[in-house]
Amino acid sequence: MSPAPHLDPLGNPVSPGEPATLAAIDAFVRGFLGYRPEIADILAAAEAEPTHALAQAYAGLLHLLSETGSIPEPARIAHARADAARTTATPREACAIDALSAWLAGDIPACQAACRRALALAPRDLAMLKLHQYHDFNRGQFLSMLRAALDVADANTDQPAWWGMAAFAYEQCHLMDDAERAARHALSLDPAEPWAQHALAHCLLTTGRIDDGIAFLEAASPGWASLTSFMDTHHWWHLALFYIARGRFADALAAYDHHAWARERTFSQDQIGAVSLLARLECAGIDVTPRWDDLGTHLAARATDTDQPFLSLQYLYGLARARRPEAHTLLAAITRRAETAPADLHTAWAEITLPAARALFAHATGDHATTVTLLGPALARLDTIGGSHAQRDLFEQLFLDALLQAGHDSRAQQILEHRRQSDPTDVPINRALAALYTRAALPGPAAAAVARVTQGLRPCTPAGGSAPCTRDQSSP
């Protein structure tokens, strides 16, 4: 009688292999879904057993997920090994090899088709669902993110990770009630489920429940240090956004210095989180100049990185704010990418990313009139180049700042008052409105905005909580 097959943490059979390889495959699944550092165990295991097809496929996918800006040679090596061992792979495992092959070829639709084939064979292959959603997210395909999750719902109702993935997909589709229900259900199954924590943070921010967001994230924060750098720093990024809304700028700066920019400074997502947070603090009137200088030294390696437009735009802005010569290099690289992009990427690079890049460079260098001219038309289409709507809000804030700096008070007032609807006591918004109404000789609205600033700075009690939130000084 042959031994029972090894099952991964979700119950999917895995081809026979060395015990260390099978343990690393399990670690990859847990790490990919749960943002755990053990995801990297697959790299050593793949080197130790080069004939295990699934281990090679997972290792190759992890190399590509590192977002280095180019295809790492180890990813190609892993693919060659996986392909050579294809005859030993199960049909499900062959789908993972196909996904790697397609991604290496730049054919993202084919990569996602392979993910769907895997899920049709094994609906609990949530690593393939995660990969599918990763590419959906980067291409602004939020309905596809949701559909991919719901297609395998029946097989995964016991899985906190699935509920977290469904929650974030709902949230990106602006289905906030569904998103919050899914996130809270995930957290009822596993209070530490990181992607569900992340989805709930989005829900609370988007619906303007700032005090609840602070209370929730502060309570959850002790568990983040054990996560991967991205998930740890990104959670702190979210908490810093809540701090900024309540005028807790010293706390936001501390979150940046000690958490959001304190782990893996070479990783793409940590870098763009740092750029975004510094830019938002500047829009709120906080001087962060020395921090730009430090960040710029790490962004310099991105001078020719045009792998993902959403990332490139933020690398560019950070380099330009740091007054690095690499900003000019990257702007030129984006221009070339727009000129040479294949038909399926032409719109994203030539019609959206390039004008946005020129606008962001202009803002970073003080040319606010050019920012207004170029960034306004691009804003409505930025969703197609990736990022969450919370992340893309950076670009609207920079556009708003350019309007104010260029003297377009009427246009700025419309945006500010619209933004105030979700969080009436947002401190930076109301400070901007107070100054704007004062310039417009409207003392009544100016006084009302000042009163809202005062209200926003007061201690608070989050909904459902008994202990008051404490707010520190409103300047660092």
Q: pLDDT digits over 191-236, tens only?
A: 999 999 999 999 999 999 999 999 999 999 999 999 999 999 999 9
pLDDT for position 458: 78
> Is residue 460 pLDDT above 70, yes or no?
no
Q: DSSP of 95-106, one letter per residue?
A: HHHHHHHHHHTT
How far apart are the C-alpha atoms of 333 and 328, rounded to whole Å? Answer: 9
Task: Indicate whether 52 belongs to any domain.
Answer: yes
Residue 365 has pLDDT above 70, yes or no: yes
Question: What 8-state DSSP symbol labels residue 222?
Answer: G
Question: For residue 59, is pLDDT > 60?
Answer: yes
98 is a domain residue: yes
Whether 468 shows a pLDDT value over 50: the answer reads no
Q: Tell me phi and psi for residue 168, to 5 degrees.
A: -70, -35
Length of the chain: 476
What's residue 1's pLDDT?
Answer: 56
Residue 252: name the closest of 238, 266, 272, 268 by CA.
238
Write out pLDDT tens, residues 308-326: 999 999 999 999 999 999 9
How confident is the model over 438-451, as a mean pLDDT?
Answer: 98
How far apart, in Å, are the Cα atoms of 385 and each of 14, 94, 315, 438, 466? 35, 30, 15, 38, 42
Beta-strand relationship, 6-7 and 13-14: antiparallel
35 vs 134: CA distance, rounded Å: 13
The whole-number pLDDT of residue 4 equals 83
pLDDT at 105: 97
Banded pLDDT at 84 (limits 50, 70, 90): very high
Helix (H) / strand (E) element for 256: namely: none
- CA torsion 433-434-440-442 (nearest 10°) is 120
pLDDT of 472 above 50? no
The torsion angles phi and psi of 52, rounded to 5 degrees, stand at -90, 110
Choose among 255, 212, 217, 201: nearest CA to 233: 255
Distances (CA, A) of 169 to 69, 98, 179: 26, 25, 8
Range of the domain at 131: 1-145
How confident is the model over 375-390, as pLDDT tens digits?
999 999 999 999 999 9
Q: State how many domains the chain has.
A: 1
- CATH, residue 39: 1.25.40
Count Cα atoms within 13 angstroms, Cβ side, for 98: 19
DSSP label of 90: -
What local confidence, expressed as pLDDT, does residue 3 receive? 75
On whether the CB atoms of residues 92 and 116 are closer than 8 A, the answer is: no
In a domain, 312, yes or no: no
Quick one: average pLDDT of 422-438? Answer: 97
- Decide: 422 and 204 in contact? Cβ < 8 Å: no
CA distance 444 to 189: 50
CA 385, distance to chain mean position in Å, is 12
Q: What gap in Å lies between CA 225 and CA 222, rounded to an integer?
A: 7
Q: What is the mean pLDDT of residues 22-39?
A: 98
128 occurs within a structural domain: yes
Residue 109 lies in a domain: yes
Cβ(235)–Cβ(200) under 8 Å?
Answer: no
Kindly report which listed range (60-69, 148-157, 454-463) carries the lowest average pLDDT score.
454-463
**Residue 6: its H or E element:** strand 6-7
3-state secondary structure of 89: coil
Q: Quick one: pLDDT band at residue 461, thresholds 50, 70, 90?
A: low
Q: Is the dihedral of CA 297, 305, 326, 314 positive or negative?
A: negative
Q: How far apart are CA 209 and CA 188, in angstroms?
A: 20
Would you state the structure tokens that stand for residue 383, as one six-digit string? 């969703």
- Is the C-alpha dihedral spanning 301, 305, 311, 316 positive or negative? positive
Tell me how far apart the 2 most distant CA atoms of the chain are, in Å.
88
User: DSSP 3-state assignment of 13?
Assistant: strand
User: In this structure, is residue 23 part of a structural domain?
Assistant: yes
Query: What separation in angstroms does the CA of 450 have from each of 187, 294, 425, 429, 455?
Result: 38, 35, 10, 10, 9
CB contact at 8 A, 35 and 227: yes
Q: What is the pTM of this model?
A: 0.94
pLDDT at 475 over 50: no
Between vectors from CA 55 to CA 9 and to CA 70, what angle results, nearest 5°? Answer: 115
Using a 10 angstrom Cβ sphere, with 0-12 exposed, 13-18 middle and 19 or more buried, the burial of residue 74 is middle
Asked if 249 and 287 count as a contact pair (C-beta separation under 8 A), the reply is no
Segment 3-28, tens digit of pLDDT:
788 999 999 999 999 999 999 999 99
Residue 178 inside a domain? The answer is no
